[in-house]
Amino acid sequence: MALRLGDLAPNFTAQTTEGPIDFHQWLGNSWGVLFSHPADYTPVCTTELGAVAKIRAEFDKRNVKAIAVSVDPLDSHHGWIKDINETQATNMNFPIIADEKREVATAYDMIHPNADDKATVRSVFVIGPDKKIKLTLTYPASTGRNFMEILRVIDSLQLTANHKVATPANWRHGEDCIVTPAVSDADAQKLFPKGVRKIKPYLRYTPQPNL
Ligand code: BEZ
């Protein structure tokens, strides 16, 4: 069955380009981004892995570890990394899982047979420090992902995990947030000393509380 938000992210052991891992141990107290790609030595995937390597500092700043997975073997991954570094002007700095037996792909339902019965689709799982799934995304092979969007979502997830706010459409770090409906007006005044702007009883904005 497909994994849902709030489910425990399945643990696994695997060979990666940075050595063998036990996934939960490897995550430790960090947040995680586990993302699959259809195959090594393919153009869109090459740009995606290069894009993630380039924003490693942004993941570090947010205490997030990134890890990629495909059903190709380790020697293929190592050869491909040379191409990624060369063509994307970067240095790969996060592991790629070699999931030849499709154990990870199966546990995370990353093979969608009506799209492709062999390769993984472009799945993204954001996993919290409690090892629970906080966000899932699924893209087809033909569409590369926007990793700035994934950072934006992580900013929202980390903020809303600790404050009684939600983030509106197209929100970016630093912009006003929405007071969650369960908070009364009286409590909102106490919780958000920077002020609450009430547009409708159910639509109340406050400056981002953790800045
Ligand atoms: C790609 O990464 O370029 C790709 C992979 C599978 C199908 C189509 C594109």
CA 47 to ligand 1: nearest atom: 2
> How many whole angstroms separate alpha carbon 20 and alpha carbon 12?
11
Active site residue 45: yes
Our mutation pick for probing the ligand 1 site, out of 44, 46, 48, 88, counting the most ligand atoms within 8 A of Cβ, is 44
- Three-class DSSP labels, the chain: CCCCCCCECCCCEEEECCCCEEHHHHHCCCEEEEEECCCCCCHHHHHHHHHHHHCHHHHHHCCEEEEEEECCCHHHHHHHHHHHHHHHCCCCCCCEEECCCCHHHHHCCCCCCCCCCCCCCEEEEEECCCCEEEEEEEECCCCCCCHHHHHHHHHHHHHHHHCCEECCCCCCCCCCEEECCCCCHHHHHHHCCCCCEEEECCEEEECCCCC
Q: Residue 51 has what pLDDT?
A: 98
pLDDT in tens, 110-145: 999 999 999 999 999 999 999 999 999 999 999 999
Q: Residue 2 has what pLDDT?
A: 87
Count of other CB atoms within 10 angstroms of residue 150: 22
Spacing, Cα 144 to ligand 1 middle (Å)? 9
Q: Does pLDDT of 1 surpass 80?
A: no
CA 48 to ligand 1: nearest atom: 2
Our mutation pick for probing the ligand 1 site, out of 36, 37, 45, counting the most ligand atoms within 8 A of Cβ, is 45
Nearest CA to ligand 1 atom 1: 44
Cβ < 6 Å from ligand 1: which residues? Answer: 38-39, 42-45, 141-142
Give Cα separations from 6 to 24, 25, 125, 132 (angstroms): 16, 19, 11, 5
Count of other CB atoms within 10 angstroms of residue 35: 25
Spacing, Cα 153 to ligand 1 middle (Å)? 25
pLDDT in tens, 19-50: 999 999 999 999 999 999 999 999 999 999 99
Mean pLDDT, the chain, integer: 97
Q: Does pLDDT of 5 surpass 90?
A: yes
Whether residue 40 contacts residue 69, with contact meaning beta carbons closer than 8 Å, is answered with no
Q: Which of 45, 92, 126, 150 is catalytic?
A: 45
Name the pairing type of β-strands 96-98 and 64-70. parallel
Spacing, Cα 141 to ligand 1 middle (Å)? 5
Spacing, Cα 49 to ligand 1 middle (Å)? 13
Count of other CB atoms within 10 angstroms of residue 121: 18
Give Cα separations from 75 to 12, 106, 201 (angstroms): 20, 22, 59
Spacing, Cα 211 to ligand 1 middle (Å)? 40
